[in-house]
Amino acid sequence: MRRLLLALTIMITLSAHGQGDYFNTPEFWNKLKLETKLEAPYTKPDTVIVVVSNRATQNDKLRFMSEERDGKQLRYYYVYAHNGKWHVLQVRSLSEAIQLMPESNRNWVVYTEGMGKLFTTDIYRGLTLAAQYGVNVIMLDYPSITTTKSGLGNYFFAIGNARIAYKDFLPVFAEIKQMKFNRRLGTGKLSLFFHSMGNNVLTGMAANSKLSMLNDAVWVDNLIMNAPCVNQTGHVKLLSKIAFAKHLYIHYNPEDKTLKGAHLMSGHRQLGESVDNPTYKYARYINFHTLADEGHSNFLSLIGRMPATPAAVRHYATLLNGDTVQLNNTGWYRRTAYKNIGWDILP
């Protein structure tokens, strides 16, 4: 057991450090160009996202965003890809960033990532999600890795920032809700996508009774908890407090290596790894084991990784565009044998 714990600890921390090292190189930071105004030639960029960050800035011309939470203010960015560069334009508000989006009638995804993400990593993933699924992305960026720590220290750094991030992003969700009702997000559908440790933002709002300003109406089409790195125990009570989404999907994998590591380090079974009864009757649980084996992040085709499978892309394309998964399609899904909790997604 001690050897297993050590192996899993090394695996998850090295995985996070590997991401941090790659995306922290001067070559990668140089892909970002900090802009002071929107130049005319870039009004029709390749891919565009909005980034809302709770990071502090730092006095570094290259690595201008730090690895620490600001704690006092949010920063808003309009980010567009053009000619191999990622142009980062800071704006005064979320509203100003939304106004710059060239295709407001696309479907929208509010995207929160998990452990191991620098500012560069989140921009890369946000742009990839927008391009791969043809959606408008509002990326919620928080510090989830630091070069000042290693091993378990980085795990606790990340989980600590994930658990407190709801305080910063709650007003953002409230503003997005108002924009949705005021038609400032166009005519598209709206989904919230939380991956892995990023699900702590959602459960943090629920656990700390901060949902009243969001729960007075239904304004989200799909609420997606993807491989949630949150405690399995008590999840029904927390999720029953959420009333703002038409549909709730929980993606889990009983053999998820990353979440098994989080289980051992935290001492708690993770919702994305070890779902147990009772389950939340209004959630649809999707078991990814048959499709992904021991995989954890199955929705993006990323540098240095195997591309997302066609079945996964089809599934996520449906959800991220605000539509309902057709669980009665027996070629794509079947009732799972794992504790009879939800459905398997099939290869």
Summarised one tens digit per residue, pLDDT across range 286-345 is: 999 999 999 999 999 998 899 999 999 999 999 999 999 999 999 999 999 999 999 999
Q: Do 158 and 145 meet the contact criterion of CB atoms below 8 Å apart?
A: yes
DSSP at 89: E
Distance CA 167, CA 173 (A): 11
Model pTM above 0.85: yes
pLDDT of residue 20: 56
Q: Which residues contact 156 (CB under 8 A, 6 or more apart)?
A: none
pLDDT of 3: 42
262 vs 172: CA distance, rounded Å = 28
Ranges of residues in the chain whose predicted pLDDT is under 70? 1-20, 40-43
The C-alpha torsion from 206 through 130 and 11 to 117, rounded to 10°, is -70
| Residue 253 to residues 55, 63, 101, 341, Cα–Cα distance (Å) | 31, 36, 35, 11
| Count of C-beta atoms within a 10 Å radius of residue 330 | 9
In the block, which residue shows the tokens 């009879």? 340
pLDDT at residue 4, rounded to an integer: 44
- Write the class of the CATH domain 2-345: alpha beta
pLDDT at 144: 98
Determine the pLDDT at residue 83: 87
C-alpha–C-alpha distance, residues 183 and 179, integer Å: 6
